[in-house]
Amino acid sequence: MGSRHEFAHEWTVAERAVTHDEIGCSPLDCRHQVLAVVRHGQRLWTEDSTVAVLRGENRLLVVSPGRDEAGRITIAKAQ
């Protein structure tokens, strides 16, 4: 089993702006796994019905595959 240090290089958690194409959509329809929506400075989990439709001023807390030194996507292998 990998160490916590190794796992940290395999996935990235980041906050980003909602894209133009995502406005009006559900956070569940975004290209990255959305953990939460930040609206008016408040973090709201995707299960919260108040964030069922994304707005342009929202920010997203997302999880996406990490990248290695060459920029290639890294995905953890089950062990």
The pLDDT tens digits for 23-51 are: 999 999 998 899 999 999 999 999 999 99
CATH fold of 4-74 reads Alpha-Beta Plaits (3.30.70)
Percent residues over pLDDT 90 in the chain: 57
Handedness of CA 74, 30, 21, 46 (dihedral sign): negative
Whether residue 49 contacts residue 37, with contact meaning beta carbons closer than 8 Å, is answered with no
CA distance 56 to 22: 8
pTM of the model: 0.70
Residue 42 per-residue DSSP state: E
CA nearest to 32, candidates 73, 57, 60, 54: 60
Q: Are strands 11-17 and 33-39 parallel, antiparallel or unpaired?
A: unpaired
